[in-house]
């Protein structure tokens, strides 16, 4: 038996707070980095904000009791004055683990009541484009290659070009960071793009992609039954078990041509 050093993925809590009304929206276990993107993506996917102008400022909390020291595990979000929103659906988020998020605690009915639109477009991609995505994801996972302990969410165009990638111990957090990046740079909706996530595709993953307008969602592992139901109802092409030159197509076959 030999001892040696190893690199581990960092996991720390992040509290997302509103400044006014002062309230904690969620506490999630995440990998530090891109915390503002994570907060923005989370707020957008939950319908609290709809445009970049809805967020006035995002900052780390400053502790007045410790000489103004910044607390990097607390993010304060200041929304624009007069913005109205419903915080009741966020009660299920009070504590979110990096492992499973809130899978199974939301419902299709909630999305119907929020008026989420069905994704309708004539987008088509070839199977060859889909086949090319996992290798690009693996090559771009810088931290995963060192630690082996992170999930990733990646954004591609319809030609299969990798546009951006985010990593986190939680796959939901990785997707929030990816969507938050697009939100803060005013690139939403992502209606001509493809998202690939490592691991499985849950209801929560599909909900976040639906809110971002993503028409094609791919995963290297299996979808849940509720994820498939969401994809079928809201017009998302859902691909699972994407490995090598094989994949399973669960919904939205019309977008895969050739």
Question: CATH no. for residue 79?
Answer: 3.10.20.10
**Residues 163 and 75 grouped into a single domain:** no
Mean pLDDT of the chain: 86
Mean pLDDT across 205-226: 96
**Residues 143 and 249 grouped into a single domain:** yes
Which is catalytic among the residues 100, 103, 116, 209? 100
**Residues 249 and 163 grouped into a single domain:** yes
**Structural tokens at position 210:** 């639906």
Annotated catalytic, 100?
yes
With a cut of 90, say whether residue 21 has pLDDT above it. Answer: no
Residue 1 resides in a domain: no
Residue 131 resides in a domain: yes
Give residue for tokens 């969602």. Answer: 217
Residue 81 resides in a domain: yes
Q: Give the confidence band of 109 by pLDDT, cuts at 50, 70, 90.
A: confident
With a cut of 50, say whether residue 99 has pLDDT above it. Answer: no
Query: Are 92 and 102 spatial neighbours (Cβ–Cβ below 8 Å)?
Result: yes
pLDDT, tens digit (0-9, with 9 covering 90-100), for 163-183? 999 999 988 999 999 999 999
**Residues 141 and 249 grouped into a single domain:** yes
Query: What is the sign, positive or negative, of the torsion defined by CA atoms of 152, 97, 114, 18?
Result: negative
Mean pLDDT across 2-28: 80
Residue 119 resides in a domain: no
Query: Are 250 and 240 spatial neighbours (Cβ–Cβ below 8 Å)?
Result: yes
With a cut of 90, say whether residue 34 has pLDDT above it. Answer: yes
CA distance 228 to 182: 25
Mean pLDDT across 7-27: 84
Q: How far apart are the first and last CA of the chain?
A: 53
pLDDT, tens digit (0-9, with 9 covering 90-100), for 134-149? 999 988 876 555 555 6
Give strand pairing partners of 72. Answer: none
* Residue range of the domain that includes 55: 12-99
Instruction: Please say which residue of 82, 99, 116 terminates a domain.
Output: 99
Interior/surface letters 82-93, b for 16+ CB within 10 angstroms, e for the rest: eeebeeeebeeb
Between 113 and 19, the higher pLDDT residue: 19
Residue 235 resides in a domain: yes
Q: Give the confidence band of 115 by pLDDT, cuts at 50, 70, 90.
A: confident
Residue 117 resides in a domain: no
- Give me the number of domains the chain comprises: 2
With a cut of 60, say whether residue 75 has pLDDT above it. Answer: yes
**Residues 131 and 85 grouped into a single domain:** no
Mean pLDDT across 184-193: 96
Tell me the pTM: 0.87
**Cα–Cα–Cα angle for 143, 189, 132, rounded to 5 degrees:** 45
Query: Are 176 and 147 spatial neighbours (Cβ–Cβ below 8 Å)?
Result: no
Q: What whole-number percentage of the chain has pLDDT above 90?
A: 62
Look at residue 66 in the predicted model and tell me its pLDDT. Answer: 57
- Edge to edge, what strands does the sheet with 216-219 contain? 162-168, 151-157, 193-197, 216-219, 237-243, 246-251
For residue 190, the SS3 value is coil
**Residues 249 and 143 grouped into a single domain:** yes
**Residues 155 and 77 grouped into a single domain:** no
Q: Give the confidence band of 56 by pLDDT, cuts at 50, 70, 90.
A: very high
**Residues 37 and 136 grouped into a single domain:** no
């Amino acid at each position: 038996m030999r001892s040696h050093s190893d690199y581990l993925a960092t996991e720390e809590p992040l509290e997302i707070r509103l400044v006014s009304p002062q309230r904690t929206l969620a506490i999630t276990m995440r990998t530090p980095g891109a915390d503002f993107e994570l907060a923005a993506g989370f707020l957008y996917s939950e319908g609290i904000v709809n445009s970049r102008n809805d967020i006035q400022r995002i900052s780390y909390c400053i502790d007045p009791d410790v000489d103004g020291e910044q607390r990097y595990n607390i993010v304060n979000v200041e929304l624009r004055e007069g913005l109205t929103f419903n915080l009741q659906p966020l009660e299920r988020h009070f504590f979110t683990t990096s492992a499973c998020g809130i899978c199974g605690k939301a419902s299709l009915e909630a999305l119907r009541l929020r008026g989420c639109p069905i994704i309708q477009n004539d987008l088509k991609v070839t199977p060859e484009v889909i086949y090319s995505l996992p290798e690009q994801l693996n090559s771009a996972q810088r931290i995963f290659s060192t630690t082996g302990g992170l999930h990733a969410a990646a954004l591609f165009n319809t030609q299969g070009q990798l546009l951006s990638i985010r990593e986190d111990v939680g796959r939901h957090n990785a997707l929030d960071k990816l969507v938050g990046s697009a939100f803060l740079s005013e690139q939403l909706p992502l209606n001509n793009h493809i998202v690939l996530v490592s691991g499985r595709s849950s209801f929560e993953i599909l909900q976040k992609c639906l809110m971002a307008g993503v028409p094609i969602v791919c995963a290297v592992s299996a979808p849940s039954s509720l994820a498939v139901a969401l994809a079928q109802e809201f017009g998302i092409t859902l691909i699972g078990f994407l490995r090598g030159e094989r994949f399973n197509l669960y919904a939205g076959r019309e977008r895969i041509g050739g």
